[in-house]
Structure 1
Amino acid sequence: MLAKYVRNFHPRLIGLTGSLEQVATAAKIYHVRYRKFFPVVLDDDTQSGEKAGKEEENAQYLMDHSASIYLIGPMERA
């Protein structure tokens, strides 16, 4: 999904990919903050705004992250 998104800006752009550990390492190096969170659900049974449930594999979630964009060339120059 990220690859499709960044192609809207330029066809040669790629998004950061890797394992969770690799992404966490890159995020630390570039001072990127991110977190996964589960949205609040308001329906007939939960008028008070309870959390959308447990962190289950199939649960819907959102990502909150820094808004900076880093462009790094082929020679790893920022």
Structure 2
Amino acid sequence: MAKTIVWFSDNGKRICAEIACQDGKQRVLRAKDEEGKEIEISFIEEKAIASAKRINRYGYPDPQPQEDGSDENGWVQ
């Protein structure tokens, strides 16, 4: 299962979403705002997937792991 992490803006808030693709369908696994609060996936799933499609088109790199094992967005792999 391939995973992508995207940042996008929703009503003036920056949101980070982890998206996975399996069997040709994209799904948001989890999301949080820039303050680290978890966000209900159903509210932002459509925007997150649209953002991932734009990013994948232009080929931005995946986030790199940090020393503590988390990625640059604070999620442990």
What's the TM-score once normalised by structure 1's chain length?
Answer: 0.25
More strand per residue:
2
- TM-score, normalised to structure 2, is 0.25
Structure 1 or 2, whichever has the larger Rg, is: 1
